[in-house]
Amino acid sequence: MKQRLLVIALLLAAAALIAALVLVPRLNRSNVLTGYVEGEPLYLAAPVSGAVAQVYVQRGDRVQAGDRLFVVDPKQLDAQRQQAQAEVGAAEAQARDARKGLRPVELAVYDANIAAAEARARDAAADMRRVQPLVRKGIYAPARLDDVRAALQTANAQVVAARRQRDAAALGAREGQVQAADSRVAQAQAGLSAADARLSDLAPVAPSAGRV
């Protein structure tokens, strides 16, 4: 009986040892799962039509976010940008001219009006000098002197008015023209910025890491 119990105990010990040898490596080994993750496809295209000038990636290449993918020929947009840049230069030149005041032709018109008014004032002053002694001598009636004096006052007032008109026109033209010129400069610069943005769009980049 004792021998039978000893044999059973030995068999149980052997079974426990075998189980330990089989199970322990499995418990220490990490679980490995086999499968695949499906990526989300992204489709990229240039915002403008044109010939592709250069391709930087091929099918199957891995890319990182920001990697350049291809470039569209910029010849057409280069011409548009040059035109926009020329418009900016022209608008800025007009703004500089506007800040200088009236143009020479416009100034000449106002200066001619002033000169004509001054000439009439000189004539009226000459009449005044001529009529005064004649009135004192009784050759002309005092009313004649009053008429000449009124004409001189009118001529002098016209000179003052012509000068003020020139100054007001110069100030008004400068303010209005400067505002209009500044507006044209802003529009031209906006067009240039838009042209630059279109040029940058000719070279799309990868929005995120992935495979082509």
Give every CB contact of residue 161 below 8 A, 6+ residues apart in sequence.
Answer: 117
3-state secondary structure of 86: helix
Residue 49 belongs to a domain: no
The Cα–Cα gap between 35 and 202 comes to 39
Residue 140 belongs to domain spanning: 75-200
Any domain includes 69: no
Per the domain annotation, does 13 fall within a domain?
A: no
Residue 157 in domain:
yes
Cβ-contact 174, 101 below 8 angstroms: yes
* pLDDT per residue as tens, the chain (212 positions): 444 444 444 455 555 555 555 555 554 455 555 655 565 676 666 666 667 767 777 787 787 887 777 777 777 777 778 888 888 888 888 777 777 766 677 778 888 889 999 999 999 999 899 989 988 888 888 888 888 889 899 999 999 988 888 887 776 656 667 777 888 888 888 888 888 877 777 777 777 777 76
Q: Which residues contact 166 (CB under 8 A, 6 or more apart)?
A: 107, 110, 111, 113, 114
- The answer to the question of residue 54 being in a domain is no
User: Has residue 184 been placed in a domain?
Assistant: yes
| 10, part of any domain | no
pTM of the model: 0.40
Is residue 192 assigned to a domain? yes
Q: Considering its fold, how many domains does the chain have in total?
A: 1
